[in-house]
Structure formats: structure tokens, C-alpha cells
Structure 1
Amino acid sequence: MKAIICISVLFFATLALAAEDYCYKDVVEACKTTTKKSVTALNCTAKYGAIDNLQSKLQRYVNHHFIRSFEYLLMATHFANYEKNREGFEKLFRGFSDNKWHEAIELIKYITKRGGEMNFNELSEGIRDEDKEEQDFELLELSSVAKALDIEKKLALEAFQIHEDASRKMNGFHDPEVSSHIEHEFVHKQRDIVRKLAGYTTDLSELLNGPDASLSLYLFDEYLQKQ
């Protein structure tokens, strides 16, 4: 039975494309022994490239997305109450909240696909500093959009940093697969979101300086409902 297991493991191990033959060597050594434990304790993981050096940054990015998701949710519920009753703004921020949550889940899946694991305690110093400050998410319409713009720019710059680290052509960091994933799944999306929020901020500023700010704000909220 052990011989069958060894032959099967050897067959699949030789099919794996790895930078170094750690898995194959482990299998060969395991098949030379007589203990069952040595067959299961193989270095045949999905890890390759620089995932070990980039994993903490990816974990941090996941956790930041979760935090921003909750912040957007607080902003959405503020505009959904009976006093504010801004259904358009509520829809805008709830959509951002859902998207950030979804992106975090998908990035966790990506980390595990690359052989990594998730650490929910990994946070940047910037986020830790924000937690020490008093936060207010019950904002006026223009202020809320401006805050969202700042949030999205921070996430975009963080994606740039991960991409830069993964693109370093030096031992232990170069991982074009990670940089490609970040570019296609985050960088391009952030560009569009930042542009949209910047436009909203400019439009709201002009509308609120107009002759009938209340009506303009109402119509802008109606516009957001249709998006």
C-alpha cells in the first residue's frame, strides 16, 4: 500500500512546476523511509515566488478593506435615518461598503490560493493612529463625499505600494503574479472610484454655492439614487 502511495505522490510531484525541487526531494526521502508520518510531512505547498515576503502586506490590505467597509456602513446608515432621509447618499456608501467587504473576501481567497494564510491582527500604523483619534461618520453630504475620496486614495496608494514591492527585481521580493493581481483587481478600479468621487465633490461644492442649495442637494440625491 505504501508503495502505491509513493508512486502516486511521485507522479503528481513531478508534474508540479516549482522553482526548486523541494517537494520532489521530500517525496523521494519519504519513500525511502518506513514511517507513515514521513509521507504526509511533505514540503508540497502552493507557495512560490515572494508570497512569504508579501503576505503581511496583503493581510494588512484585507483588514483595511474590512475597516473601511464598516466605516462606509456607518456613513450609509446615517443618511438612511428619518432625519437625513438621503436615499441616494445611503445607496452610494452602502455600495462602497459592500464592495470593500467583497474585495476583502476575494483577497483572502487569493492569499490562500498562493499558499498563504490570513492574519486578522495585521494593521498599518496609520490605521492604528486613526483608531486613537475620535472618529465622526455622521457627516454632511459634501463632507462625507470628501471623506470617501480620502479613503479611496489611501487604498489606492496602498495598492501602489504592494505593487511596487512585488515588482522589485531582487531576491525575495520579485513576484509578477502578485503585482498583476493587484493591478487588475484593485489599481484600475480605484482609479475609476477616485475619479467619480472627485467629480461628486466638485459638483456638490458648486451646487451648494448656488442660489438654491437645498433644492440642488435634493436633486443631487435623486441623481445618486438612479446610479
Structure 2
Amino acid sequence: MSAFTLTGAEGIMKTFVAFVVFTSFCSFVLAAEESCFNDVVRACKTTNKMSQFPIACSAKYGGIEADQEYLQKYVNHHFIRSFEYLLMSTHYANYEKNRLGFEKLFRDLSDDTWDDAIELIQYITKRGGEMNFNLISEDIRSEELNGNNFELYELQSIAKAMDIEKKLATEAFQIHEDVCRKNDKFYDPEISHHMEEEFMPKHRDTIRKLAGYTTDLSNLLKGPDSSLALFFFDEYLLKQ
């Protein structure tokens, strides 16, 4: 009888210890993961106004806090490239050049790049981040300081556009690499998925298209009448 009682007491003690440990663990998890809930509860328990307390209810999670600087730079680079394409477009829209096909090509590239920047701003804000329009990488800042020439011949302008697209594509790869680091601060598979879905296929298709234009136009210019070849190629671009 005494043995039975001792065994029952041990069982009750073990149950109690397990309950205490489980309760402590749950409290730790709630404190670590539900800061928004905890802040609201803390504010509601006081007689002061809730506005006096910093409530950590934000859409941020994962690595967006550390990774948003990469995305902000990428947005700004898109805006810069969009204006560069626009300058290239206006060069062919004047009465001297009058290359409406080339003008359309670069204006479309400008619009697409601008739209991609706006889309990425929307994505950053969905993830709880904010936009900083002052962040620019040093290589692009150096380009801007040294000046760029956008009044180029037809073949040169297409080649320059392809180089711009490759730089944007390479930067997308770099962002993907940064956010895939096995590090609690940077790791964010949702951002990498967004880059894969929204940016990489577009860059791939645009680079392939511009590479084809470069090859076709360079072959046409080897013919007996380069002026006529440029005319027909411009007409072809106008219909795209």
C-alpha cells in the first residue's frame, strides 16, 4: 500500500514538473514570437493611452529588415536605367534621325523598367519595409559622375541596352544569393521566390531579344546598302 502511494506521488510530481516546464517554454515562445500581441496586452493593462507605447505590430518577418537595402538599391537602379532608355529613345525621335522603330524599342524598355521599379516598391511595402530613394551602388554613381553618352548609332545603342539588361539581371542574381544565405538575419526564401518569378524571366527574354537584334542588324549592315538595311530594320522594330 505504501509502495502504491509512493508511486502515485512520484507520478504527480513528474506531471507537475512537466507542466511547469511546458508553461515556461510556452511563455518564452510567446515572448519571442508574439511581440505584437504582448505589446498590445501590455498597453491595454495600463491607464495611459496606447499611443504612448511602441506597439511592434508590423508586416516584417524573415530577413526583410536586413535585405530591404538590396531591394531599395535595385529599385533606384531601375529608375536610373529607365531614364537612360528614355534618353536613347528621344535621340531617335527627332527630325534628323526619325527612326520611329528604334524610338519605340527604347521607349518600351524605359516603360518596362519603370513598371518593374514600381512593382518592387509595392512588394517592399507589402513585406513591411519602406523605400529609400537615396541608395545607389558605387558603380552606377561612378557612371553618373563620369557622364554617359546616349546619342549612339543604331547598332551601338542596341548593344548598350543589352549591357544594361545584363547588369540588372546580374544584380538580381546577387540579391538572390544574398537572401539565400543560411543566416537568420538575411535568409528569406519568399524574396528569392519573388525575384525568380517577377524579374529573372523578364531579363532573360529581353536579353535574348536584344542579342538577336544585334546579330541581325550587324549582318544587315554588311550588305551593299546599309542605309536601306537600317530603314527596313527600323520598320521591323516599329511593328514589334
Please indicate, yes or no, whether the TM-score normalized by the shorter chain is above 0.5.
yes
Question: Which aligned pairs between 1:11-90 and structure 2 lie closer than 5 A?
Answer: 20-38=33-51, 41-90=54-103
Match of 1:130 in 2: 143
Matched, 1:93 2:101: no
CA–CA distance in 1 between the matches of 2:66 and 2:122?
A: 18
Match of 1:154 in 2: 167
Question: Which aligned pairs between 1:122-201 and structure 2 lie closer than 5 A?
Answer: 122-201=135-214
| Bigger Rg, which one | 2
Partner letter of residue 218 of structure 2? S
Post-superposition offset of 1:134: 2.6
| Alignment match of 1:204 (pick from 209, 217, 220) | 217
**SS of residue paired to 1:82:** coil
Match of 2:125 in 1: 112
CA–CA distance in 1 between the matches of 2:63 and 2:189?
A: 9
Post-superposition offset of 1:40: 6.1
TM-score, structure 2 length as denominator?
A: 0.85
**SS of residue paired to 1:48:** coil
Structure 1: gaps of 5 or more residues: 1-18
CA–CA distance in 2 between the matches of 1:217 and 1:38?
A: 66
Post-superposition offset of 1:38: 4.9
Post-superposition offset of 1:37: 3.2
**SS of residue paired to 1:34:** coil
Post-superposition offset of 1:93: 0.2
Greater CA drift, 37-46 or 102-111: 37-46
User: In percent, how many aligned pairs have the same letter?
Assistant: 68
Residue deviations 1:187-227, cap 9 Å, x none? 11100000111111111111111111111111110000110
Partner letter of residue 64 of structure 1? H
Residue deviations 1:54-97, cap 9 Å, x none? 11110000000000010000000000000000000000000001
CA–CA distance in 1 between the matches of 2:68 and 2:183?
A: 17
CA–CA distance in 1 between the matches of 2:48 and 2:172?
A: 46
CA–CA distance in 1 between the matches of 2:222 and 2:146?
A: 31
Partner letter of residue 102 of structure 1? D
CA–CA distance in 1 between the matches of 2:57 and 2:230?
A: 59
TM-score, structure 1 length as denominator?
A: 0.89
CA–CA distance in 1 between the matches of 2:53 and 2:125?
A: 20
* Contact 2:92/2:100, CA 8 A, preserved across alignment: yes
Aligned length: 209
Residue deviations 1:24-75, cap 9 Å, x none? 1111211211111357631000000000111111000000000001000000
Greater CA drift, 72-81 or 129-138: 129-138
Structure 2: gaps of 5 or more residues: 1-31
**SS of residue paired to 1:119:** coil
* Contact 2:44/2:50, CA 8 A, preserved across alignment: no
Partner letter of residue 90 of structure 2? T
Partner letter of residue 168 of structure 1? R
Post-superposition offset of 1:135: 1.2
Partner letter of residue 189 of structure 1? K
Match of 1:223 in 2: 236
CA RMSD of aligned residues (A): 1.2
